Amino acid sequence: MSIEERLLVHFVIDLKQREMLKKKSGSEQYTIPTLLLATLRSNAFTLLMSPKLTSYSSKDLSKATVEASRQIGVPEIPAVYELGKLEIIQKTLKKHFTDIRYQIKDKVWAHRVKLLVAHVLSQLSKALAQKKQPNIATLSATLIGDRSVPITVALYRRVAALRFVATSHPKEFRSEEFWAKVDEVIKAWKSAADGNAEVLLRKQR
């Protein structure tokens, strides 16, 4: 290889390294726009509360949120080739999903405590117990809060499944295995019901 050819090769390599460094620096300096972050967080919560979600413990929820948001036309989402920026967004969403899961568990736990109190009251007074008896609709409203998530029968069934796991599997509820157990129970119920929503509803009452 001649001197000129070697110089040309080094020049090309140097250009590529500079381009890679430029892309890396751009992603490190990237800050998620406020409106985009708020929209993605809202979509993440909607996804986690969706009755169609098949796995709460999946590691791909952040990526799924970004792709779904892209498909519905959410502006300012980085292009598919802007891997550095997308990685920052997905890491942020991953933490947000963790926060949501903890919030859901806290609210389900509070609901479980109310159920136990209602059970104790039922031993003392049926009339008083009926007034204090918490239900799935109440828990669903508590979980959703002021977010724009549709209240449907399917949502009630899913929330009932969360409550079932919390009350029937207290050991898993107090550990990181809770969401894996939820996935397991939902899969088992769907298999047993064979798509029959009425059967699922009876199972979760």
Residue 70 has what pLDDT?
Answer: 94
Residue 1 lies in a domain: no
Would you say residue 144 lies in a domain?
yes
Q: Is residue 184 part of a domain?
A: yes
**Which residues, in sequence order, are CB contacts of 80 under 8 Å at separation 6+?**
86
Decide if pLDDT at 25 tops 50: no
The mean pLDDT value for 185-200 works out to 70
Residue 115 lies inside a defined structural domain of this protein: yes
The answer to whether residues 119 and 130 touch, using CB atoms and an 8 Å cutoff, is no
**Residue span of the structural domain in which 150 resides:** 31-204
Kindly report whether the global pTM for this prediction surpasses the value 0.75: no
Whether 13 maps to a domain, the answer reads no
Q: What is the pLDDT of residue 148?
A: 84
Question: Pick from 68, 141, 146, 149: which is nearest to 111 by CA?
Answer: 141
Identity of the residue numbered 26 = G
- Check if the beta carbon of residue 138 is closer than 8 Å to that of residue 185: no
**Overall domain count for the chain:** 1
Per-residue confidence (pLDDT) for residue 125, from 0 to 100: 59
53, pLDDT greater than 60: yes
Instruction: Give domain status of residue 14, yes or no.
Output: no
Position 19 in a domain: no
- 15 in any annotated domain: no
Mean pLDDT comparison of 31-45, 139-153, 155-169, highest-scoring range: 31-45
In this prediction, residue 90 carries a pLDDT of 96
